[in-house]
Structure 1
Amino acid sequence: MKIETDFGKYVTLFFTQYLVGERGVSPHTLRSYSDTFNLFYDFMSLVRSVPAHKVRLKDVTHQTIKDFLFWLEKEKNNLVSTRNIRLAAIKSFSCFMQYYDTMHVGQWQAILAIKQKKIDRDAFLYLTTEGMALLLSQIPTDTRDGRRHLAILAFLYDSGARASELVNLKPSDIFFEIPAHATLFGKGRKRRIVPLQDKLCAIVKKYMEDWDLDTADTSNRPLFMNKNGRKLTTTGLAYIISLYASPARVLRPDLIPGKLSPHSFRHSKAMHLLQSGVNIIYVRDILGHVSMKTTEIYARADSKQKREALENAYQDLIPKASTDGVWESDQELKKWLRSLGR
């Protein structure tokens, strides 16, 4: 078999031998990389008219990757930060291929030379407290699905969790005894504890009762699920946000930006904490930032600091809980990639 027809084979080796076997990457990294290659296959099929099982190594050129990155931003509406994450995955594969495809090392080095796009670190989308309250108030609490959506979005905001942290939560990670808290597992499997306010606890408890997640038998199941009872995905989380952002935007377009993401909830929580006078060290710990420089972005974004105390951060934003050979076909390739790290 000629090496230039072996793209699917080497993608498989990259995931199974290199990422898992040699580097031992986290499940989160594995999922992120698999999503990147699924998107690349979509690009090759939709834009280049090359189905996944016919993509060859020689097709993966410097220009192809640049076009792929442009497509991610313009057609898939990816943020620059997301575009850079996809590029990092492609670069990791290119680095791996330098050792397997030595006859074409220049091809892979050309991809490695593609620069990360500069991010305006002080520019990000977040909601004001009024905007967050408006969005959450759109969620009905008189239906089982509505209470599920409220639990998901209220938890996303109040905990400051990353999307990947939220979808990987289990009922056993939630502790309702005083002081109530949740255990999150972030980047690099780092563990952190975040406090949960009483109102959120009531919402999550009701949701767990609705979905029979409050028993010992279900303690290790996914905490947040889709309407079919399967584990919620980050894509599903983004969809739920869009369901309620749209009607809220109609009511007050000045309060609801046009491109909200799960990370916008995290940005919003950080800004609201700082605006309420919470020490930036505490904000760093709640968000799980390794570097203080990351947290300082929020301090630079808004100068209205020094209000009374931590309690002022927990305004009445959340409604009360209601009392009621895997590379031989497109589908096989993509199904296998989606399974990685899940």
Structure 2
Amino acid sequence: MLQWQKVIQEFRKFLLFERNLSKKSVSAYLNDIQKLQIFCEDHQLNIEEINVKNVQHFLEWVNGFGISVYTQARLISGIKSFFNFLQLEYELSTNPAELIETPRLTRKIPDVLEVHEIDELISAIDLSHPEGMRNKAMLEVLYGCGLRVSELVELKISNLHLEVEFIKIEGKGNKERLIPIGAQAIKYLKIYLQEVRAKQQVKAGHEDVVFLNRRGAKLTRVMVFLIIKEVAQKIGLKKKISPHTFRHSFASHLVEGGADLRAVQDMLGHESITTTEIYTHIDKDYLQSIITQYHPRS
């Protein structure tokens, strides 16, 4: 008879080392499996005895706590992975969650900036003080490479390969990817590194970090949010934006320009192409103009 504690520990190792998931994702998966354990122990069910009806009753029980549709989807995904693991490692005969349907998720289309709005934001940065050049280089890299804010603040000098116009990023789950970097971002990044950062006293342990605060330490995510908010207020931008808005804009502008979706997926570091596909639905005005211009009935 399989023991819950032992199986969950083995499943944890499987998620970490074979699936290469982040610790946060692994924690969420295990939390869901522990809910299943509680349900099964309350109903005196051994792991090997769980069938489709038991899984359905478990989901009904969990839904009674008022969880969101996104949590439901993750929960079902986690249970399916758990039973797949049991089939693989413990030769469980069937996967009782295999036929359970995942609820359809409606993806929220993110806000994006127009090119002229990005130009206005970057042009509004005050270059009369050293932090201004850092901020300009930072926003050029954020938009020019489509980075997550966590990737931006963790960016290392040793991962800049500007001579071949690439940077290396350590993304989610410690997965590395190479991203092209354009001439504009390279220009201001070099100016910042040579004229600002080179003159700073760097705090121990932060020698390889690209973007530093006044004390010579790595910038925080919150600081990046505040810098962007301040510049947006300065130009009177009405849109509610964040560092992620630059990432959305990067992807949207590439797709609008005709970039291959798989290439955009690689640059963004998305595991699934479906995550990237949202950018094909962003610019409704652009799509409408195409129909108006080319459709014979328009």
The Cα shift of 1:282 comes to 2.1
CA RMSD of aligned residues (A): 3.8
Structure 1, residues 212-251: CA drift from partner, whole Å, max 9, x if none? Answer: 289xx99962212223221122222211111111112x2x
**Greater radius of gyration (CA):** 2
Partner of 1:224: 211
Displacement of 1:113:
7.2
Question: Structure 1 pair 297/176, CA: closer, same or farther in 2 (3 Å)?
Answer: same
Structure 1 20/208 Cα, relative in aligned 2: closer, same or farther at 3 Å? farther
* Residue of structure 2 aligned with 1:239, choices 221, 226, 233: 226
State the aligned residue count.
Answer: 223
> 1:283 deviation in Å?
1.7
Distance 1:176 1:269 in 2: 19
2:91 is matched with none
2:282 equivalent among 292, 301, 312: 301
* Aligned counterpart, 1:205: 190
Q: TM-score, normalised by structure 1?
A: 0.54
Amino acid at match of 1:267: H
Q: Which moved further from structure 2: 223-232 or 167-176?
A: 223-232
Kindly provide the amino acid, as one letter, of the partner of residue 115 in structure 1. Answer: S
- 1:277 deviation in Å? 2.1
User: Residues 94-173 of structure 1 correspond to what in structure 2 (within 5 A)?
Assistant: 95=33, 114-117=67-70, 120-173=106-159
Structure 1: gaps spanning 5 or more residues: 1-16, 34-84, 306-342
Please name the residue that 2:267 is paired with: 286
| CA displacement at 1:115 relative to structure 2 | 3.0
Identical positions, percent: 29
C-alpha separation between the residues in 2 aligned to 1:218 and 1:197? 29
Residues 90, 283 of structure 1: CA spacing in aligned structure 2 closer, same or farther, 3 A cutoff? closer
Which structure has more relative contact order (CA 8 Å, sep 6+)? It is 1
* Residue matched to 1:186: 171
> Does the 8 Å contact 1:171/1:218 carry over to 2?
no
Q: What residue number does 1:337 align with? A: none
Q: Distance in 2 between matches of 1:95 and 1:223?
A: 40
Q: Distance in 2 between matches of 1:28 and 1:281?
A: 21
Conserved 8 A contact 1:138-1:247: yes
Partners in 2 of 1:202 and 1:232 — Cα distance? 21
CA distance in 2, matches of 1:291, 1:172: 29
Does structure 1 conserve the Cα–Cα contact (< 8 Å) formed by 2:206 and 2:217?
no
Q: CA deviation at 1:289?
A: 1.9
The residue type equivalent to 1:229 in the other structure is G
Pair 114,273 (structure 1): closer, same or farther in 2 beyond 3 Å: same
SS in 1 for 2:219: coil
Asked if the contact 2:148–2:247 (Cα under 8 Å) also holds between the matched residues in 1, the reply is: yes
Confirm or deny: 8 A CA contact 1:165 1:185 kept in the other structure.
yes
TM-score by length of 2: 0.62
Contact 1:181 1:196 (C-alpha < 8 Å) held by counterparts: yes
5+ residue gaps, structure 2, are 1-8, 44-57, 71-103, 288-298
Q: Following the alignment from structure 2 to structure 1, what is the Cα–Cα distance between the partners of residues 280 and 223? A: 31
Cα-to-partner distance string for 1:41-87 (whole Å, 9 max, x where unaligned): xxxxxxxxxxxxxxxxxxxxxxxxxxxxxxxxxxxxxxxxxxxx9xx
Q: Residue in 2 aligned with 1:335?
A: none
Distance 2:266 2:15 in 1: 27
How far apart are residue 125 of structure 1 and its match? 1.0
